Amino acid sequence: MGQPKRTALIYDFDGTLARGNLQETSFIPNIGMTKEEFWSEVKARTQTHDADEILVYMHLMLDKARQQNIEVTVEDLRRHGEKAPLFPGLADRSWFDRINAHAAVRGLALEHYIVSSGIHEMIEGCAIRDAFRQVYASKFIHINGVAAWPGVGINYTTKTQYLFRINKGIDNHWDNVAINSYMPEDERPIPFDRMIFLGDGDTDIPTMKMLTHKGGHSVAVYDPHRTDRDLKKIHKLISDGRVEFVAPADYDQNSQLDIIVKGILGRIARRHGYRPED
């Protein structure tokens, strides 16, 4: 089969790898708010200031923490990330070991990435961080270890640029020269048709649509303890042609998601010459 083909499995985080939003697990309660109060205020400030919702929620985190005399440090944010309620099959790493081995047999060198509107520092603290080659997520600028201001805000549409960063092998947020420079398709480390994106909702729609259009693969996942609102979002993703597959966010062996991702990896491998032994 020759040299293993670099292949990317790309995940959103909140609602895809972990239940709910990371901020809701412990950070929002610590600043004396319910998640309903916090997100309601985010919506109100976003409209009042005609602002970007991701930057607003990041600023509100700092604003409310200061009101409670709480310093938001890198270490503090990572500790909040340690409490991430991961979906089945992730905490024990069995998903990564199993799916990597499945890909390797088929001549694929599988790499895992996160592209998320969530907080980078929190994701850095979660139990599975080292399973990922790179985490692209919203992050703060820190001065003397204390979060001072939003440094990166990844929203609905800016998520799509990170597919190009993965495609071109750019492992940072800042290099806009490289992202905008021409690179022949056959020189790009990971072509779009060797990418799979897993996401759960609204902020993932442009990414799913673009990747599908480019010949990649998109899978919508949902919390097995879903609400009617969650199901309506999934129904819309299917009816609008944004995704190819839908499955519960269950990463255990022989789950629906396990079968789907293995099947997609098999499809990718066949395009590159792999033929299973009968």
Helix, strand, or coil (residue 96): helix
Interior CA angle at 245 toward 130 and 83, to 5°?
A: 35
User: What is the rounded average pLDDT of the residues 178-199?
Assistant: 95
- Asked if residue 113 is part of any domain, the answer here is yes
Phi/psi of residue 6, nearest 5 degrees: -65, 130
Give the whole-angstrom CA distance, residue 154 versus residue 156: 7
User: Does residue 278 carry a pLDDT above 50?
Assistant: no
Total tally of structural domains belonging to the chain = 1
User: What is the rounded average pLDDT of the residues 81-91?
Assistant: 93
Write down the pTM of the prediction: 0.93
- Asked if residue 151 is part of any domain, the answer here is yes
The pLDDT-based confidence of 277 (bands split at 50, 70, 90) is: low
Tens digits of per-residue pLDDT, 105-146?
Answer: 999 999 999 999 999 999 999 999 999 999 999 999 999 999
User: Whole domain around residue 204: which residue ranges?
Assistant: 5-19+84-271
- Asked if residue 173 is part of any domain, the answer here is yes
Its sign, for the CA torsion 50, 55, 57, 59, is negative
- Asked if residue 162 is part of any domain, the answer here is yes
- Asked if residue 77 is part of any domain, the answer here is no
**Among the listed residues 6, 2, 4, 14, the one whose alpha carbon sits nearest the alpha carbon of residue 198:** 14
Residue 186's CATH number: 3.40.50.1000
Tokens of 233: 């979002």
- Asked if residue 41 is part of any domain, the answer here is no
- The per-residue pLDDT for 227 is 63
- The per-residue pLDDT for 235 is 73
Tens digits of per-residue pLDDT, 230-254?
Answer: 677 777 777 776 778 989 999 999 9
- Asked if residue 262 is part of any domain, the answer here is yes
The pLDDT-based confidence of 205 (bands split at 50, 70, 90) is: confident
- The per-residue pLDDT for 1 is 55
Residue 12 half-sphere exposure toward CB, CA atoms < 13 A: 31
- The per-residue pLDDT for 83 is 86
Tens digits of per-residue pLDDT, 28-46?
Answer: 999 999 999 999 999 999 9
- Asked if residue 52 is part of any domain, the answer here is no
- The per-residue pLDDT for 224 is 79
